[in-house]
Structure 1
Amino acid sequence: MTASTLTAPPERQVPPTATRSRFSVGRTARYALLLFFLVLVLIPVYVLLVTSFKGAGDAAPSRAWNLPQVWTLENWQLAWETLSPAIVRTLQMVVPAALISSFLGSINGFVLSRWRFRGADLVFTLILFGMFIPYQAVMIPLSQLVIDLGIPSGIPSLILLHVIYGLPITTLIFRNYYESVPNELIEAARIDGAGMLRTYGSVVLPLSIPSFVVVLIWQFTSAWNDFLFAVFFSSSQNGPVTLALNNLANGALLQNYGVSMSGALLASLPTLLVYILLGKYFIGGLMSGSVKG
């Protein structure tokens, strides 16, 4: 018997039906698990939405899962009349706070990523240190500082505070993103005679749109949902919507759960719309600086 007549044993082949079966079982299990968590997350939303359309006598904890006996929009009308001034004030606060903190964070990130001066890493570490200081620990001296500076309470002081406390996270995001910008672009701008500010404005800033989307969404939602600063630096007459919602829930309408639920949905609607409309850009912006260009 020669070597040419020897044949390798046939490979064991998996029947296609078995492969499809394992794939189908695994996919079904994943979908079932995702569906379970989706239902778990949507349960509070269901209770909020259903209760918001119930009358005062129908909105009771014992009937939280039941559909309204009589559907009504009175809760939404009353919640809107109560919260609409605070919603307008909140928009006046979060839009400039998000824009200013994003722009300053972009400048910080560019300088710290491209200008390697002595102590740059220390400065960056000190900026990030602000992210780990509990707000409660500095609230009393911060209140005294705002009073000493003569900054009016309400929207002006809240804008300043959200800009300052937003700088660490905005600087971090922009610095990481600018680290992925190719050095060839920066060197080409320098060869053409552009200084640091010209390079930032003409070359780097147009490339920063993905990071600006991430930072603006982050700052918008953080400032919109803030409650601690609102309690210390504003009142029910000049404060944001979170403070007005708390007063609505703890006021004379406490027995009417429908109004409280309607107010909660109205207060969360802007941030929900932001994530629905810009969610894919948020994820894309987060990933844009994760790979070195």
Structure 2
Amino acid sequence: MNPETTAPPLAAPAPSAHTAPAPAVRRARRRLTPARIGLYVFLLGAALFFLLPLYVMVVTSLKTMDEIRQGGIFALPHAATLEPWRLAWSGVCTGAACDGVRTGFWNSVAITVPSTILPILLGAVNGYALSFWRPRGANVLFAILMAGAFVPVQVMIYPLVRVLALAGIFGSLPAIVLVHLVFGMPVMTLLFRNYYCGVPHELFHAARIDGGGFWRIFLQVMLPMSLPVVVVAAIMQVTGVWNDYILGLVFAGRDHMPMMVQLNNVINTTTGTRQYNVNMAATILTGLVPLALYFVSGRWFVRGIAAGAVKG
């Protein structure tokens, strides 16, 4: 073999400037910059701002009144007791009756369940019709519904009282459910219409070619794929109905007073000694349902927002 014709050995490729070692990249990403430190400080401050009142409420609800009078609002209880929680649930006076907020809780459940299911169903049908079928005057109807969303509740109270009184249902459970249905329809229609506008229309046309009608396409095609926006609508409606005070006070009647009205009667009582531990326990009990709903379905809420639930 001729040594002059022998090919030289291949040289190893030089490291590229664009290919840095993976550990170095990870270390560079984890490095704390002033912007990242400022972000962490802001998030920590925001968390403390919202969690500190909740902490005070919880520790106060576990103290006796003698310990509360000694001061130390941020101090942990020396001997934690659940007696304030028992009184708040079944012993504190909410007016003429002294059976706690338990009755108001079940009243709120009886009001919230139909006041959530009915607006969601009707809002889904409205949004589906306005997005795909587009009947004559659909834009005018949608504009009227959106205008109704900006009408203050206080403006509509007296006309609704007159209408429900003439119908003979004022102060009953159907009355308060109907009122929440009326005030929830604009927002529910907006949510579902914008969500269905993001659904490919080819899916609707394919269902029409297969012989699907209005209700069949809605029940078998659109509704099963609407779980994210249904969760968003349920969270919004449950939170709004459960935390409502003025509508429950006016339209529910004495036999169906919701939990928020009874909580106001507990905290703002002018008779006897003010029991701060019982008040804090009753307040936490009142807010447990919306709080638990957010924790359980928070992932679906974010998914529904990202899927176009509030996109115009």
The TM-score by the shorter chain falls in which range? 0.7 to 0.9
The alignment status of 1:79 with 2:92, answered yes or no, reads: no
Q: Secondary structure at the match of 2:65?
A: coil
Task: Provide Cα deviations, 1:1-43, integer angstroms capped at 9, x if missing partner.
Answer: xxxxxxxxxx9xxxx89x9499412323211211111011111
List gaps (5 residues or longer) in structure 2: 1-16, 18-23, 91-99
- 1:144 — aligned with what? 162
Q: Is the 8 A contact 2:191 2:309 kept in 1?
A: no
TM-score, length-scaled by structure 2: 0.83
Structure 1 pair 95–205 and aligned structure 2 pair: CA distance change class (3 A): same
Aligned partner letter, 1:64: I
Deviation at 1:201, TM superposition (A): 1.6
Aligned partner letter, 1:153: G
Q: 2:302 aligns with which of 263, 269, 283?
A: 283
The alignment status of 1:39 with 2:48, answered yes or no, reads: yes
The alignment status of 1:247 with 2:256, answered yes or no, reads: no
Partners in 2 of 1:56 and 1:214 — Cα distance?
41
Deviation at 1:247, TM superposition (A): 0.7
Cα RMSD between the aligned structures? 2.3
- 1:8 — aligned with what? none
Task: Provide Cα deviations, 1:231-258, integer angstroms capped at 9, x if missing partner.
Answer: 1113454210001101111224651111
TM-score, length-scaled by structure 1: 0.88
Structure 1 pair 290–231 and aligned structure 2 pair: CA distance change class (3 A): closer
Deviation at 1:65, TM superposition (A): 2.5
Partners in 2 of 1:290 and 1:162 — Cα distance?
21
- 2:120 — aligned with what? 102
- 2:201 — aligned with what? 183
Aligned partner letter, 1:102: I
Partners in 1 of 2:101 and 2:295 — Cα distance?
23
The alignment status of 1:68 with 2:77, answered yes or no, reads: yes
Structure 1 pair 53–291 and aligned structure 2 pair: CA distance change class (3 A): closer
Q: Is the 8 A contact 1:54 1:72 kept in 2?
A: yes
State, as a whole percentage, how many aligned pairs show the same letter.
Answer: 36
Partners in 2 of 1:201 and 1:22 — Cα distance?
49
Partners in 2 of 1:145 and 1:254 — Cα distance?
41
Deviation at 1:59, TM superposition (A): 2.7
Moved more, 55-64 or 113-122: 55-64
- 1:231 — aligned with what? 249
Aligned partner letter, 1:244: Q
Q: Which has the higher helix share?
A: 1
Deviation at 1:154, TM superposition (A): 4.1
The alignment status of 1:24 with 2:24, answered yes or no, reads: no
Aligned partner letter, 2:229: S
Q: Secondary structure at the match of 1:289?
A: helix
Partners in 1 of 2:52 and 2:188 — Cα distance?
34
Task: Provide Cα deviations, 1:216-237, integer angstroms capped at 9, x if missing partner.
Answer: 1111111000001011113454
Q: Is the 8 A contact 1:98 1:219 kept in 2?
A: yes
Q: Is the 8 A contact 2:194 2:310 kept in 1?
A: no
Structure 1 pair 33–185 and aligned structure 2 pair: CA distance change class (3 A): same
Count of aligned residue pairs for this structure pair: 277
Deviation at 1:267, TM superposition (A): 0.4
Q: Is the 8 A contact 2:115 2:181 kept in 1?
A: yes
Aligned partner letter, 2:64: G
Q: Select the structure of larger CA radius of gyration.
A: 2
The alignment status of 1:172 with 2:190, answered yes or no, reads: yes
The alignment status of 1:56 with 2:56, answered yes or no, reads: no
Deviation at 1:75, TM superposition (A): 0.6
Moved more, 68-77 or 165-174: 68-77
The alignment status of 1:261 with 2:280, answered yes or no, reads: yes
Structure 1 pair 62–139 and aligned structure 2 pair: CA distance change class (3 A): farther
Q: Is the 8 A contact 1:154 1:239 kept in 2?
A: no
